[in-house]
Structure 1
Amino acid sequence: MAPQTAPARQNLPVETDSFIGRDRDLSDLLRLLGADRVVTLSGADGIGKTRLALRLAAHATASFPDGVWLAGLACAGTRADVAARIGAAVGVAEEALSDPVDHLCEALRRRALLLVLDDCDGAADHVAEVAAALTASCPALSLLLTSGEPLRVPGERVWRVPPLTLPREGVDPADSGAVRLFLDRARAADPGFAVDTGTTADPAGLRTVAEVCERLDGVPLAVELVAAWAGRVPLDRLAEGLAAHLPAADPRRHGRAARRRLLEGVLTWSHALLSDPERVLLRRLAVFPDWDLEGAERVCGAAPLAESDVLDLLSGLVDRGLISLTGEHHNRVRYRLPGAVRRFAAARLAESGEADEARARHTARMVALTEDLGRIAVEGRPMPWAERFGHLQRVVCEYDNVRAALLWAERRRDAEAGLRLCAGLRTYWVLGHHFGEAGTWCDTFLAVEGADDALRGRVMVLRAQVYRAQRRYPEAARMAAEAEARCRAAGDTESVGQALNVLADFDIRDGAYARARERATEVLEAARATGDLWNEAVALALVGAVAVHTGELGEAETRFNTALMIMRGMDHRWGVGLVLMAQGAAAEVQGDAQSADRCYREALDIQRGIGAVPEIAAALAGVGRIAPALGSVAQAYDYLSESLLVSHAAGHRPGAARALEAIAQVALDHGVAEDAFRCAGAAAALRGGLDSELPDPRRPAVPLKPGVEPEQVRAWWEEGRGLGLDAAVDLALRITESGRPARPRPAPARLSEPPRTALTPREHEIAQLIGQGESNRVISERLFITQATVARHVANINRKMGFNSRRQIAAWVNRHAVSP
């Protein structure tokens, strides 16, 4: 989750060193990728599959309009896990009611993108299943896979990654890929390293390097590991040491098993050259999928090491090529062990007898990290939002480690550690809509004996919220009631308040307003007595919602404003956003368009900063629904179309249904009955049926207009129900493009010549294309941005200039010859 910016077209990591010796492979693979939709780079560990795939993907971005996206699958364990990692890479939100693979296929059905699935060996069968489903369902999608062996996906073209080229007789050794890589990495490790590479002589140093590369069979990782020592160990001694550790040279050995033995020998040789403390740190680092310095210090800094030793030892291992840098995330450098090195280190950890202890420390570290998030997410004391949000970002960065800790706790049947992790992850899972994973882990650890009632109660509150997201309302209510009873018996007042707030929310949905008020009032009294500001603010918002439903509008306004005051006092922007959305919905029901617009717009700004896509779409839809009441149908269509596109891109069907309903309502109000009812029918189908309940006042059903025959409405409605999501989105976008008012309200005289400086360069560019009569879709294709981004820019231009329609933008552009 990150603040929304200009749309990225790839998530590939930044290269940290030079790419050597694969130019011909790269050229051939680019042609292959253009001809085949599934390409697998196969070969032994250390042969360079991942590095080649990343460079190939970077060169291929221009061929895929919807981008190139990397998903690392080294730690994936299940089919759902594979789908979740791919979804996270491409920005597809989880759909609580759908099979994760089916949902992923639906969301990507029309995208022309390249998925890079790296390190598929550990979950090969699951990856093959998901890959086959994607290629069958998504005709414009291509896959680039890395794996030790072919995955046997239908249509798969396998490229056996060869070793780097070796020196040939009569040719300068420095022209071979293996020697060039050796020299480059040796100089990177020791800038003073040099051998004569002139073509007029065959110096001993260069000849030794060539011999070493031949002995290493051109395997890139082996070459890099040996080259890292070249500045510290004389070349002749380096060659002698390798000879003692590597299998005897055999010109016939070129298979995967032989190269695996070769790499094992190189790692054994390199490991023997390390100091004892370096060997201890290396094996302990095997518990991490990736890490930062603080994590390494906390987990690995136990006797015989000290935390203060870790930085220097870590730097030494980086210099020796055993650790890779993966980049900087949120001002913290992150590291990882290459796959072959990690497996070697894990074997040494098992031999040492300290594997359980190291994994226990790793799990304890993740428990502490997630519990910090859980505490700070609802902590009542004032705290800068950047600091509070930073804890969420830390968990995002560490989530592979969190998954590893959950798996370890599951294998150990450690209910307390598992439940503590689940409780701490509540904010991450709910805010990120990771409901399937949350439900699975909660069920796993709630079924294990152990842990106290208060902890179980906290996790049951989360499970109730997940059940609600999955629309399993009876289970949700039962789970929340049991959570409240357990926490009350344990004397955990804060968790009782959380459980009661969840139950009050269910009561409001069921129309049990008196009971909801009673529960929320109990929370208010307890929260005020204990200084629990979070539960107090949430309870106030719930009482406000009850007051809206019971017609006590003055009380509702007071309650919402008090809740906002508390959340703002804590500088808790997520909490402010939640209350604003509830207050905006209340104002919308009351017909107070100005207040609703203000609430939704501020909530939209907050959600853009957090990056929670379903909430962004909800706020956009709120602004769009209110815009006609404020005299701007054009803005209504702009915001609603962006809401629809954001939801569609994220695969969030409830959000898409909400936007379709709102577009249908605006269209119907402006005489577009036929397409309006088709659009509404499509929304009803997304919600699960024509007669499904729509309890949320923000999602009204489209009413029947006078003069329209019910039979005709039913026919249009049924046509819409049969459209499918993609076709429904196309229909809605046609409505928003063509359904704007023919006679827009003229701009105020004082804005007849707005200052050019009010617009950004991108907004000037879009304004000029609007002046040429181009639609949002054409503009998005011209500028290589999404239609959602175009719609947002159009809305910004209208807001800045005081315009109400695209016609006014076009008139201004053409009148004043505006250019970008």
Structure 2
Amino acid sequence: MPSSQQNATFLAPAHVLCVQVATGRVSRQDRRRQARELRAALRETPAYQGARGQKAVVDQVGEDGLAVAFFGAAELAVACATEVAGALMRRGETRVSAGVHGGPVRRAAELWNTRGVEGPGAALAHDVMACGDTGHVLVSETTAIRAMDAPEWGDAMSDLGPVEVQPGLPLRLFSLAHGDVGNRSIPTRVKQLSAARAALRPTHNLPPARTRLIGRDADASDIVDRLETSRFVALTGRPGIGKTRLALEVAERLKSRRPGGVWVVDLSAVSVASDVPSTIARTLGLLALDSDPSLDRAELFLRDRDALLVLDGLPDVVASAGESVERMLDACPRLWLLATSAIPVGGRAREAWPVNGLPSLRPAADADPALLRDSAAVELFERRAYEADRGFRLTDEAFRAVADIGVAVGGSPLAIELAAAASAHASVEEVLSGLRESIARGKHAGADTTPAVVAWAVEAAAESDRTILQSLSVFHGEFAMSAAQAVCESGDIDAGQVADGVHSLAQRGLVAERDGPDRYRLLRAISAHARTLAASAGAADLLRRRYAKYLGTCSRELLEAAAGDVERVLEWATEHDRELGFRIATNAAASWHDRGEWARCARWFDILCDRREGVTVDLLAAALTARSRARLELGDPDGALRDADDALAHSSSIDDREGVALARRAKGQALVSTGSVQEGMRHCEEALASLRRLERPEEAAVTAAELAAASMLAGDAAKAMAYAADGLRVDGGEQASSSLLLLRGIGAARSRDYAHAREALAEALVVHRSVGAERHEASNLLWQAELAGREGDHHAAALYHSERLYVVQRVGGRTEIAEALRSAGVSSRRGGRLGDARRFARDEERLRTQLNQPRETTRVRLLLVDIEVAGGDAAVAREALTRALAHDVEDGERVLCLYAFGTVAHLSELYDEAATLFRAAAKWRDEDDLGDGDALERMYADTVTEARVGLRRDMESDAYDRARAAGQAMMPEDAMAYGRARLTV
């Protein structure tokens, strides 16, 4: 509800009520009548009249709604909401919704000179209102927490939880139902926003169960109970016995009990112990960083989470992987582990749970089929056979044969399912006969029969299907149909036949269909048999070569889907076909760049470029260009410039115009990084012009983003915004748009055009999230927090910083996480969220100690002092101050320490001491410069300013002057000693 301000205004805290009446299509005369009724309904309410009597209210009424700012108690805004809604309902108007939020609102020094209700608090109140359906009165946490001190309102509010009323801003909302006013249902929009937020922050990666677990219900219940007391349970048993399926069932049942998340870590493709931590980190969505070991980052992410990890296939790697697991258990006191293992797992904190075969009855000749049906093995066979052939029915005689199958395979679910799938092609009796023969031939009777059953199932398939299965063994994880066709196609088998063969193998249970579209996988026991067949046929290298060619040319989306295999195939290619290695690496470079995996990118190109003999010039130039960007991000601008120059020379030598443009852009980026901004921008502008002529919109958009960033670095926000707008006019893809929208928002913020900055950043955040640009998201949230802080909305700033912390924990190193914790702690303290502030600060203190950063450890302890001062408990604040000063304080932190002494003295009602300490600190730092430092220093400056106002009010002027004079005469070390002595610290 905008209006122009006729007088000088400033932002002040208020509780804003927005009310809207859904009008539909009505005449202008009816709208005017409605506005008069709204104004009358508002001004007749006791709450409004009371606030007006206190000269603490401003209102603005339109044709379809109103906004009222209460510069006083939160209860007045809440009461007014119910009174206005009730008055309108009594007049027959039922299409009313209302929202209340506490935040900064613009006002004039003389309140009656204020025109309209404007400011970030008013905008958010409107957004809160918009989250409700007709009849809802929604109240945000900033107002509700204060209003709920009164029993009348506390009992009337229902917590709806955090709701993203704006992108990146999850406000906790309450639904107010008081008397006849309010709607007790959960608003439709709240449901939609909550579902969208849950999708952004998944708390599990469990696949949906395709079928009901058979014969294991009691085991699953017992293991769930065991995981309430034992933090590490290992399910052991032979391959195919159903360990993974049982573990998934247990995890599903524990999902609601582990709010920190339930994650299945697939270790089936891991061959060395050192890859276990990185696989865990990748499953948790943590970015790979060479600066911080994966295990450290996983521990940091999980430390305070009540979470369950399912380590599927843990001992199939090496026994030393257990060291990583043990360390995680020690570092994460609320972490629970469930492992699956083909062999017993020993060690501390582990409890083995043997998984046996499904119960199988050996039928007598006159056995009752009804009794056999109750057997878990028979039930599983019958269900899977019916899924393969909807016309399948068991005769009485067939029931006995199925029971014999269960006994023959030792109750192995995999073997039973393979046998059931085969029943679509042969009678049950023929399946039983074939199984017995295969088991006898393999001499597996009484032992592990799974390999023999797998071999029998493969032999029963058509020859072309067996050939396809053999080729599929090259995949270590999930694969797409296009990948299968790439490795299986030959002179004898075309793409259509491959697709038919994969589907045929899936029907036989030899290929597992995954949850995503067109996604498949081989189970471990089947994959092992297929690899044996490929090795026996001498086809292993041929299959790797085909797969390498595919990875060198496939789309980014398909490459991402095969991410688990890329490095394994790269290892083979560097030894057997360097050109293929270059093609795979250059194809993967874009994905590595998008994910910020610069170290991985540089490492592979280092390996490949050291073996460049015989590689074509265009491939070498592309590799050098990709490595240039990686080196730049890793802090080696000189190396990046050398690579860019080499790439430029190589591309020029073969007149590769696109290669020249990309190398020139890389050179421009390196020059900007070394401080030669104008020269670097000139190279990027030339690259941009070339890419436009070549009609490469995506690369042109990326180059425009680089020019926008360089302009920002040069301090020209207007030029940066122009480049960003220019880049957005090109259809350059979502990744480029993510960067350009972010730069446009930052440019607007630096130009102090806050309204457009908020709008651009909100639009950009949606794109960041849709394309998974988490580094862009972190930067965006930082700027949104900065904007909120500049406008005095410290509560919103705290929420933005908290959201950013979650993202940084996934993509940042430990030092970056520590800085994010500091920002979240300071902003939460300023926003009055003391519980959050205390938690963030303690987490940061622990991390700074681990990183051996004594100066920052002292500073975060001083933050904790201020948090406890704000909490109002002088004894607790003194304890925090004692802890902060437990070690030597560097000279640069003495002023902050003196401020901390002063604030604790003020809280302890030692007014003379507080005034003395504040003046002693100010002597060594010009008072005019207070708050020009980092966020912690600015926060302390505000705390000290407020405390000084209180001292002037509470002390006689002569006493105040004497105390200040005493502080003026003190040297810093004397002031520190004085503070310690007077506060007994």
Under TM normalisation by the shorter chain, which class is it? 0.7 to 0.9
- 1:143 match: 337
Q: Secondary structure at the match of 1:143?
A: strand
1:444-486 Cα shifts (integer Å, max 9, x gaps): 3233344223322322333333334433455444444444444
1:261-295 Cα shifts (integer Å, max 9, x gaps): x2222223223322222222221222223323333
Q: Output the CA distance in 1 between the equivalents of 2:240 and 2:560.
A: 28
Alignment counterpart, residue 93 of structure 1, candidates 280, 287, 297 = 287
Aligned in 2, Cα 1:48/1:16: closer, same or farther, shift over 3 Å? same
Letter in 2 for 1:179: V
Deviation at 1:98, TM superposition (A): 0.8
- 1:292 match: 480
Q: Secondary structure at the match of 2:520?
A: strand
Q: Secondary structure at the match of 1:85?
A: helix
- 1:349 match: 534
Q: Output the CA distance in 1 between the equivalents of 2:427 and 2:712.
A: 81
- 2:804 match: 643
Alignment counterpart, residue 361 of structure 1, candidates 539, 546, 558 = 546
- 1:323 match: 511
Unaligned runs of 5+ in 2: 1-194, 857-890, 902-934, 947-985
Alignment counterpart, residue 463 of structure 2, candidates 258, 276, 284 = 276
Aligned in 2, Cα 1:41/1:492: closer, same or farther, shift over 3 Å? farther
Higher-strand-fraction structure: 2
Q: Secondary structure at the match of 1:456?
A: helix
Q: Output the CA distance in 1 between the equivalents of 2:282 and 2:505.
A: 31
Unaligned runs of 5+ in 1: 197-202, 374-391, 693-708, 720-730, 743-820
Deviation at 1:10, TM superposition (A): 1.5
1:5-42 Cα shifts (integer Å, max 9, x gaps): 35332211122233211122212212222222122212
Alignment counterpart, residue 306 of structure 1, candidates 494, 503, 514 = 494
CA contact (8 A) 2:247 2:338 kept: yes
Alignment counterpart, residue 380 of structure 2, candidates 137, 159, 181 = 181
Look at both structures and tell me which one has the larger radius of gyration over its CA atoms. Answer: 2
1:744-786 Cα shifts (integer Å, max 9, x gaps): xxxxxxxxxxxxxxxxxxxxxxxxxxxxxxxxxxxxxxxxxxx
Alignment counterpart, residue 265 of structure 1, candidates 436, 439, 452 = 452
Deviation at 1:523, TM superposition (A): 2.2
Q: Output the CA distance in 2 between the equivalents of 1:357 and 1:178.
A: 40
Alignment counterpart, residue 418 of structure 1, candidates 581, 588, 603 = 581
Q: Output the CA distance in 2 between the equivalents of 1:656 and 1:116.
A: 26
- 2:870 match: none
CA contact (8 A) 1:643 1:655 kept: no
- 1:705 match: none
Q: Does 1:49 align with 2:267?
A: no
Deviation at 1:337, TM superposition (A): 1.6
Matches within 5 A, 1:463-482: 463-482=627-646
Alignment counterpart, residue 212 of structure 1, candidates 365, 382, 405 = 405
1:693-732 Cα shifts (integer Å, max 9, x gaps): xxxxxxxxxxxxxxxx96544549999xxxxxxxxxxx99
Matches within 5 A, 1:680-695: none
Q: Output the CA distance in 1 between the equivalents of 2:485 and 2:724.
A: 45
- 1:727 match: none
Alignment counterpart, residue 773 of structure 2, candidates 590, 609, 612 = 612
The size of the alignment, in residue pairs, is: 669
- 1:237 match: 430
Matches within 5 A, 1:289-688: 289-327=477-515, 329=516, 332-369=517-554, 372-373=555-556, 392=557, 394-412=558-576, 414-449=577-612, 450-550=614-714, 552=716, 554-565=718-729, 569-570=730-731, 572-630=733-791, 632-648=793-809, 653=814, 656=817, 659=820
Aligned in 2, Cα 1:303/1:716: closer, same or farther, shift over 3 Å? farther
Q: Secondary structure at the match of 1:444?
A: helix
CA contact (8 A) 1:625 1:662 kept: no
CA contact (8 A) 1:225 1:322 kept: yes
Q: Output the CA distance in 1 between the equivalents of 2:829 and 2:451.
A: 70
1:412-449 Cα shifts (integer Å, max 9, x gaps): 2x221112111111221122233343333333323334
Q: Does 1:15 align with 2:209?
A: yes
Deviation at 1:339, TM superposition (A): 0.9
Deviation at 1:219, TM superposition (A): 1.5
Q: Does 1:35 align with 2:35?
A: no
Aligned in 2, Cα 1:665/1:163: closer, same or farther, shift over 3 Å? closer
Letter in 2 for 1:516: G
Q: Output the CA distance in 2 between the equivalents of 1:443 and 1:279.
A: 40
Letter in 1 for 2:466: R
Aligned in 2, Cα 1:83/1:670: closer, same or farther, shift over 3 Å? closer
CA contact (8 A) 1:640 1:663 kept: yes
Letter in 2 for 1:38: F
Alignment counterpart, residue 83 of structure 1, candidates 265, 277, 287 = 277
CA contact (8 A) 2:362 2:403 kept: no
Letter in 2 for 1:67: G
CA contact (8 A) 1:16 1:325 kept: no
Aligned in 2, Cα 1:217/1:603: closer, same or farther, shift over 3 Å? same
The TM-score normalised by the length of structure 2 is 0.62
CA contact (8 A) 2:362 2:407 kept: no
Q: Output the CA distance in 2 between the equivalents of 1:344 and 1:634.
A: 59
- 1:793 match: none
1:580-611 Cα shifts (integer Å, max 9, x gaps): 33343344444443443333222212102112
The TM-score normalised by the length of structure 1 is 0.73
Letter in 1 for 2:760: C
Q: Secondary structure at the match of 2:280?
A: helix
Deviation at 1:516, TM superposition (A): 1.9
Letter in 2 for 1:621: L
Q: Secondary structure at the match of 1:206?
A: helix
Aligned in 2, Cα 1:277/1:436: closer, same or farther, shift over 3 Å? same
* Higher RCO, Cα 8 Å, sep 6+: 1
Q: Output the CA distance in 2 between the equivalents of 1:454 and 1:688.
A: 46
Q: Output the CA distance in 1 between the equivalents of 2:258 and 2:670.
A: 45
CA contact (8 A) 2:707 2:720 kept: yes
Q: Secondary structure at the match of 1:246?
A: helix
Q: Secondary structure at the match of 1:124?
A: coil
Q: Secondary structure at the match of 2:440?
A: coil
Letter in 2 for 1:562: D
Aligned in 2, Cα 1:147/1:98: closer, same or farther, shift over 3 Å? same
Q: Output the CA distance in 1 between the equivalents of 2:220 and 2:716.
A: 69
Worse-superposed segment, 91-100 or 645-654: 645-654
CA contact (8 A) 2:669 2:684 kept: no
Q: Output the CA distance in 1 between the equivalents of 2:657 and 2:392.
A: 66
Q: Does 1:191 align with 2:390?
A: yes
What's the C-alpha RMSD, in Å, of the aligned pairs? 3.9
Aligned in 2, Cα 1:556/1:279: closer, same or farther, shift over 3 Å? closer
Q: Secondary structure at the match of 1:40?
A: strand
Alignment counterpart, residue 350 of structure 2, candidates 156, 164, 178 = 156
CA contact (8 A) 1:112 1:141 kept: yes
CA contact (8 A) 2:251 2:262 kept: yes
1:360-412 Cα shifts (integer Å, max 9, x gaps): 2222222221xx43xxxxxxxxxxxxxxxxxx3x3332223434432432452
Q: Secondary structure at the match of 1:228?
A: helix
Aligned in 2, Cα 1:415/1:688: closer, same or farther, shift over 3 Å? farther
CA contact (8 A) 2:273 2:318 kept: no
Deviation at 1:125, TM superposition (A): 3.8
Aligned in 2, Cα 1:185/1:668: closer, same or farther, shift over 3 Å? closer
Deviation at 1:548, TM superposition (A): 4.4
Q: Does 1:247 align with 2:446?
A: no
